[in-house]
Structure 1
Amino acid sequence: MNFKEVRKLLKMMNVEMNEDHALHLFTMADKSESGSLEIEEFVQFYKMLTQRDEIWKVFQDYSGDGEKLMLEELENFLTIAQQEGEQSAQHAPELIERYEPSETAKKQGAMSFDGFQMYLCSQEGSIFKPEHRELHQDMSQPLSHYFISSSHNTYLLEDQLRGHSSLEAYIQALKRGCRCVEVDCWDGNDGEPIVYHGHTLTSKILFRDIISTLKEYAFKVSDFPVILSLENHCGVEQQTVMAQHLSQILGDTLLTTQLDEQVPQELPSPQELKGKILLKAKKIGGLEECLDDTLTDEVSDEEEIANNDDSEDPPAENHNAKTSKSKLSRELSDLVVYCKSVHFHGFEHARLHTKCYEMSSFSESKAKRLAKEAGADFVQYNTRQLSRIYPSGLRTDSSNYNPQEMWNVGCQIVALNFQTAGLEMDLNDGLFRQNGCCGYVLKPDFMRDGNTQFSPEKPEERQGYKPLRLSIQVISGQQLPKVNQKEGSIVDPLVRVEIYGVPQDQNKEETSHINNNGFNPVWNESLNFVIHTPELALVRFVVEDYDKASRNDFMGQFTLPFTCIQAGYRHIHLLSKDGTPIPPSSLFVNISISEFT
């Protein structure tokens, strides 16, 4: 490969290199002085090109002889720079064993620069605490104590008006760790219930096919329970058909009775419900009374009107709730155990009358209003009962609302359009990336206590309030993705750090942009934040291609809970817009977390 070809390759690799510097590296690698690089020479050239001076500098700071880190020096680095404390003594020999490529260094109990760089670029050297990736939370608390990864209109692959309904959408959501899926059921022409977005041009699929898909994929990624949220628009006959399909296809997987004979005072736990599918729908009566057969299957006009308040689909033009009697099929009703849909009559009414197995759905606008007007009441309500939040009917493009506002008041089932990539799904993926990606995340202790007074508007008033300072030195980027595939186009990257949490924590800061270098840009800029409620905060790193004339182009991102951040020198392995990895793109940062005084 001659120099001209090398220059072209560098452009393809997203680096605009000073011609003199590139020629200097080329000449150094061209040991045979032939004017072109053979394979071994090219490998040498690439090594020089990718040499990480910023990591070399850190290595030099801790190495006595500049050649290697002896065991004590590595321990020193882990204690001081990586803030690992007492674990350092045990961790240092493990790292040498795992990452040191040289047997000689291993025998000396030392780490070479190559081993050091391999450790820092590994998952262990990443920003995400390895132990938090695993299933590590207590899964024996009531369902209401967990955030639950939840999908809205799960059957849609595209928009809400003319999008394609597909079984594939359920498969994708479940594989992504979703634990609450939605089904909109309508009467089909041939006696078989169908699923689509009512009164729109979205395509239709059979209810029974969705249930078969659920049976196959529900527990491939996580063993914890799946909630099937039913938006029921069918007549009694086809409701009974739905009940038959649910019972026959799901069999023992469908939870049809209470776990014990007692009337529940609190919801069962994810642990107790492992491997079970729960139906969320309207129900005749409650779990208290043993219903006798004289009870009518009809729902009163008043209850029907109330129940319609939280239906997501607009009623059909000719439907008059006041005059029509809506009926519920007893067979379908009997399959609802711990997730009975009821109308929300206010927090005071709920405190006095509602049972733990009754739950309400809120539109995003109603939930936002309640969160602002009565945040502490909402948090308290959510310690006992499940709440489901769904996007506004005006979001016909399947866009999403910010789920953080709902998590701030403890809402568990915050349903998003999984098919729509962007900030909101980044936050959802970020929150549920912890705890083994099982779709359940335990809420902070101050959101599980029934007497809690926590309000997201006034975080400083809660017991145990301890704000933290987060300092992020954005050092460098590595092999960032090209945005524009036009030949010769090279990115001008900048990094923005965004904090999502209680209102006081919402914040963003960004670095300056680096001209013409997506290959190995160096910023060395510090961004500082104060976090008032660390237990609820999410941190999102975004890399963009700066553009003076128009909007910056998105290049990559990574989002994680603040509580999962490892301090010290860390790599952030970037993800694409749809949440998939884009190796080897990464950021190199130095993170410090301290008490804010």
Structure 2
Amino acid sequence: MASLLQDRLTTDQDLLLMQEGMPMRKVRSKSWKKLRYFRLQNDGMTVWHARQARGSAKPSFSISDVETIRNGHDSELLRSLTEELPLEQGFTVVFHGRRSNLDLVANSVEEAQIWMRGLHLLVDLVTSMDHQERLDQWLSDWFQRGDKNQDGKMSFQEVQRLLHLMNVEMDQEYAFSLFQAADTSQSGTLEGEEFVEFYKALTKRAEVQELFESFSADGQKLTLLEFLDFLREEQKERDCTSELALELIDRYEPSDSGKLRHVLSMDGFLSYLCSKDGDIFNPACLPIYQDMTQPLNHYFICSSHNTYLVGDQLCGQSSVEGYIRALKRGCRCVEVDVWDGPSGEPVVYHGHTLTSRILFKDVVATVAQYAFQTSDYPVILSLETHCSWEQQQTMARHLTEILGEQLLSTTLDGVLPTQLPSPEELRRKILVKGKKLTLEEDLEDEEEEVEPGLEGEHESELALESQFETESEPEPQEQNLQIKDKKKKSKTILCPALSSLVIYLKSVSFRSFTHSKKHYHFYEISSFSETKAKRLIKEAGNEFVQHNTWQLSRVYPSGLRTDSSNYNPQELWNAGCQMVAMNMQTAGLEMDICDGHFRQNGGCGYVLKPDFLRDNQSSFHPERPISPFKAQTLLIQVISGQQLPKLKTKEGSIVDPLVKVQIFGVRLDTARQETNYVENNGFNPYWGQTLCFRVLVPELAMLRFVVMDYDWKSRNDFIGQYTLPWSCMQQGYRHIHLLSKDGISLCPASIFVYICIREGLEGDES
């Protein structure tokens, strides 16, 4: 594929023009618009920019970081500047993770089209590369960086500089011997293929060679039967057949003669180990593999809090981009806080704060466009309505007109249901969650429970919090918030047009589990602040589990998290809470756990709960788990690391990596252990250490592998991580391909481990 890329770079007209460079306006805001000169580098992998046509350039972005390209009409920022900038000349570069979009305006429609077509082509080429092709491209990129005078050759001095950049500290004599061995032309420099050979010598994996030779009779190849033995004995592929082993040889053996002879060379063996089949994440768990025909309340649902925010909760920016990002990453429940806006148009923002405002109709249009791009399963609009009767009518009109057939506005088949429908039955449907008018006596009863009027769940939670405190009073600042919110209650009446759009997800206030069982129905949903939910788990964990077998629960972060930080969702999933809402704009451990959990089942945003969280007679208590749950012992041998990235904050130094393994599950299972650090080697560190964990409830456990740079003076620095559910973990010799803080691939950075799971609890064998 790298060669296909090189071929396109020399033949495709758009790419040729992009390599010459073009002036474009870079737009950051209504007031910040600057002319810059953008040029695609000759490697086809990076775009650089400069202030003047021939000024000093610096990297702008890498093609591998680009998710997609949008035209100007789909840019929220460019649309706000239509009077001064022509939309058809604009386009947006959208990046993976949380990096801000790049809005550009070309000098003509033709030039904008050249860049859009060219970038689309490059993104397609990069995303379809396999591991080896990515590695080749990564090498090509390093060669470009190391070749300081850009003459296509590398002197030993340039190689030394490059080794330092690549996180390698090596004896100079040894490095020079490798350099001389690779310099077959004896020119004193390394060119193309010679550099590749130098890199291969540099990255020789002794631990993999040893493993290969332990199964190979002649040390040169693995026969079909030898490879089959390896797959069954070490990789624990119990049902592995000769046909599957043949298929893997055909897929990963680079030589045609090897394929014909049905043997695997050392290169083919390494290629298999680095592939998806050799990954720690079981490929069988990547597509939708779970039963999707059970009622909604039987699933964990990927949920977002304050979805409109891309910053903090006090003065951050509100943007439809928040909805696009959440929906594209598989989120199935988004939150919309709606308030009265000017000219009769409702607006969305975080009430009583300085956050910016966006039109409700723009949010609905965005949801309509992006709801089902990643997953076909239902999207829930969690409405927090603070609007007047008139603007509620406008809301109902926008929902009905913009969403059209996507909006679920009646029960399925018009039949009175006895349980919530399944994700399968609700495919490509958008459901409204919110307050709903009931019979007059029910309304009167509800008004006794809470302050009169239509309040948001956050406000009602704060106002009601004191009624449910049993052990301690709220913090003084929480009390102040409660008092303020009580004062701000309005006596708004719910508009029937909006009420009628709430079908299966009627918001009701929680009083107690006994009250819910006696008064509420399966189609009613209660929301809990994180503090209340955690307290209920401690005080009545089993009741909470049983409650969540028949009714949906939504948990949201504390109002005191003004920096949009997150809680650990695992604690709430342990009790069967389905919609554990996260501030998705905030990276960190908590979002790693959430992303890892929903990586399974096709990334569709729905994960089936374990059977003991779906049984309404369940005896499970998340704080005191007892048998018959199947306890297991996990042994992890952390063997080695490969091409760990250099920390930008420590430009001059080489990392001292260590690996930390964390288990998140029920409280008794939550644990962490780490290896020793390896000094001055981020390139091919070797640990060879075994860690042992005992887990009581593996069905709820998550594993997080974190690579850190040891620092004796301060906290260790984060290098990369990978998080996955216990149930999706493969045994045997596996590579863990690391992700950045934002969840973006750090290819080719990985760690190599050996995983062994045994039934029951065993002693420490480390």
The one of 524, 532, 538 aligned to 1:358:
524
The one of 439, 443, 451 aligned to 1:305:
451
Q: Which 5+ residue runs of structure 1 have no aligned equivalent?
A: 286-290
- Taking only the aligned residue pairs, the percentage that are identical comes to 59
Alignment deviations for residues 193-229 of structure 1 (CA, whole Å, 9 cap, x no partner): 1111011000000001000000000000000000000
Provide the secondary structure at the position in 1 that maps to 2:327. Answer: helix
Contact 1:309/1:343 (8 A) holds in 2 = no
Task: Name the structure 1 match of 2:556.
Answer: 390
Task: Name the structure 1 match of 2:597.
Answer: 431
1:49-64 aligned at under 5 Å gives the runs 49-64=202-217
Give the Cα separation in 2 of the matches to 1:318 and 1:563: 43
Q: What is the one-letter code of the residue matched to 2:675? A: T
2:641 corresponds to 1:477: yes
2:273 corresponds to 1:84: no
Task: Name the structure 2 match of 1:255.
Answer: 408
Provide the secondary structure at the position in 2 that maps to 1:460. Answer: coil
Q: What is the one-letter code of the residue matched to 1:327? A: I
Range moving further from structure 2, 193-202 or 307-316:
307-316
Task: Name the structure 2 match of 1:175.
Answer: 328
Contact 2:384/2:456 (8 A) holds in 1 = no
Give the Cα separation in 2 of the matches to 1:559 and 1:256: 38
**Post-superposition shift, 1:35?**
3.4
**Post-superposition shift, 1:460?**
2.0
Structure (1 or 2) with the greater helix fraction: 2
2:501 corresponds to 1:335: yes
2:196 corresponds to 1:43: yes
2:651 corresponds to 1:510: no
The one of 512, 535, 540 aligned to 1:369:
535
Provide the secondary structure at the position in 1 that maps to 2:752. Answer: strand
Give the Cα separation in 1 of the matches to 2:332 and 2:485: 35
1:565-576 aligned at under 5 Å gives the runs 565-576=729-740
Provide the secondary structure at the position in 2 that maps to 1:428. Answer: helix
Task: Name the structure 2 match of 1:536.
Answer: 700
Provide the secondary structure at the position in 2 that maps to 1:530. Answer: strand
2:394 corresponds to 1:228: no
Task: Name the structure 2 match of 1:288.
Answer: none
1:177-256 aligned at under 5 Å gives the runs 177-256=330-409
2:173 corresponds to 1:20: yes
Task: Name the TM-score, length of structure 2 as normaliser.
Answer: 0.74
**Post-superposition shift, 1:107?**
1.5
Provide the secondary structure at the position in 2 that maps to 1:523. Answer: strand
Provide the secondary structure at the position in 2 that maps to 1:554. Answer: strand
**Post-superposition shift, 1:431?**
0.4
Give the Cα separation in 1 of the matches to 2:612 and 2:370: 34
Give the Cα separation in 1 of the matches to 2:395 and 2:364: 9
Give the Cα separation in 1 of the matches to 2:548 and 2:580: 12
Task: Name the structure 2 match of 1:281.
Answer: 434
**Post-superposition shift, 1:21?**
1.8
Q: Which 5+ residue runs of structure 2 have no aligned equivalent?
A: 1-153, 463-480, 762-766
The one of 116, 138, 141 aligned to 2:294:
141
Task: Name the structure 1 match of 2:312.
Answer: 159
Give the Cα separation in 2 of the matches to 1:261 and 1:28: 77
Alignment deviations for residues 323-369 of structure 1 (CA, whole Å, 9 cap, x no partner): x6431001000100000000112111222221000010000000000
2:613 corresponds to 1:447: yes
Task: Name the TM-score, length of structure 1 as normaliser.
Answer: 0.95
Alignment deviations for residues 402-443 of structure 1 (CA, whole Å, 9 cap, x no partner): 100000000000000000000111001000000000000000
**Post-superposition shift, 1:572?**
0.5
Q: How many residues align?
A: 587
The one of 82, 101, 106 aligned to 2:254:
101
Contact 2:537/2:623 (8 A) holds in 1 = no
Alignment deviations for residues 504-538 of structure 1 (CA, whole Å, 9 cap, x no partner): 11000001111111111111111110111111000
Contact 1:29/1:44 (8 A) holds in 2 = yes
Contact 1:78/1:88 (8 A) holds in 2 = no
Task: Name the structure 1 match of 2:757.
Answer: 593
Range moving further from structure 2, 308-317 or 86-95:
308-317
Alignment deviations for residues 437-459 of structure 1 (CA, whole Å, 9 cap, x no partner): 00000000111111111111222
1:395-414 aligned at under 5 Å gives the runs 395-414=561-580
Give the Cα separation in 2 of the matches to 1:346 and 1:301: 17
Aligned-residue CA RMSD (Å): 1.9
2:550 corresponds to 1:550: no
Task: Name the structure 2 match of 1:497.
Answer: 661
Contact 2:645/2:749 (8 A) holds in 1 = yes
Alignment deviations for residues 273-328 of structure 1 (CA, whole Å, 9 cap, x no partner): 0010000000011xxxxx7xx99999974255287584348689596488x64310
The one of 265, 268, 280 aligned to 1:112:
265
**Post-superposition shift, 1:560?**
0.3
- CA 1:35–1:485 in 2, change beyond 3 Å: closer, same or farther? farther
Alignment deviations for residues 92-141 of structure 1 (CA, whole Å, 9 cap, x no partner): 11101111111111111111111111111111110000010010100000
Provide the secondary structure at the position in 2 that maps to 1:421. Answer: coil
Contact 2:587/2:742 (8 A) holds in 1 = yes
Between 1 and 2, higher relative CO (CA 8 Å, sep ≥ 6) is seen in: 1
Give the Cα separation in 2 of the matches to 1:315 and 1:530: 43
